[in-house]
Structure 1
Amino acid sequence: MIIEARRQFGAKILRELIIVACWSIWTHRNEKHIFREEFGLVIHKAEPSLKMEL
């Protein structure tokens, strides 16, 4: 699944998604943030050409 995701999203975006997922799990466990808020920040800083893919 990871190899297929890397092919579909590209290494840079996949790394960001994994980081956001890990951060969201950690913060959700500590009742601070949720994945949607964090992913919104990633989309905000993403290159315009990648925003539509996300």
Structure 2
Amino acid sequence: MVLQARQLFGFQSFGEIALIASWCIWTHRNFIIFDGASISLDRWKCSFTGMIGLVLLRAKPSLKYELDSWICNLTF
């Protein structure tokens, strides 16, 4: 299932994006459980795009261009 999703995604950076999305879900879950925050898709999206921005700072040029174009065209 994951391999099929990776093939359908079409970008080399599938693993990085999946890992960042999972991490943002995990940290948002922790805010909900431990800090009493409410569920917020907007807060998760902000965290996700912020983390992608941090990855862009250290990414190889080829991966940087791919991630940057993907995040610019991303709509939720």
TM-score above 0.5: yes
- Determine which structure has more spread, i.e. the larger CA radius of gyration: 2
How far off its partner does 1:53 sit?
1.4
Hey, what's the Cα distance between the residues in 2 that align with 1:4 and 1:42? 22
How many residue pairs are counted as aligned between the two chains? 49
Tell me which residue corresponds to 1:4. Answer: 8
Compute the RMSD of aligned alpha carbons. Answer: 1.8
**TM-score of the aligned structures, taking structure 1 as reference length:** 0.70
**Identity within the alignment, %:** 43
Higher relative contact order (CA 8 A, sep 6+): 2
For structure 1, the 5+ residue unaligned runs are none
Hey, what's the Cα distance between the residues in 2 that align with 1:47 and 1:27? 26
Tell me which residue corresponds to 1:53. Answer: 66
For structure 2, the 5+ residue unaligned runs are 32-43, 68-76
